[in-house]
Structure 1
C-alpha cells in the first residue's frame, strides 16, 4: 500500500488523524495533513482506508 496526499486541497478537518494517527498528522500552524508514513504496514491498512473514505476533501489516494 502506498499513500499519496494532496496538501493543496486539504481542508484541515482532521478526520485522517482521528482514523490513522500512526500514518497522518496535521501541521500545527494551519492543520493541513502531514503524511508520516507513505507505506504503512499491512496492520494499518483498514485505518488508512477509513481515513481516505472520511476525508471531506478526498485528498488521500491509496495505491494498492
Structure 2
C-alpha cells in the first residue's frame, strides 16, 4: 500500500511539473498558496473521479 502511495505521489509531482513547466507556471507553483491551490484542484478532481467510480460500483451491486 505504501508503495502505491509513493508511486501516485511521484506521478502527481511529475504531472504537476509537466503542467506548470508547460504553462510557464513554475513561479506560481513555487509560491506556497499556488502549491495548495494546485493540490486542492487535484483533490477535487480525484474526489469527482472516485465518486463516479463508487456510484458505478453501487449500481453493479458491489457497493
- Looking at secondary structure, tell me which structure has more helix per residue: 2
Instruction: Tell whether the structures are fold-level matches, with TM greater than 0.5.
Output: no
Rg (Cα) greater in structure: 2
TM-score normalised by L of structure 1: 0.24
Using structure 2 for the length normalisation, give the TM-score.
0.24
Higher strand share: 1
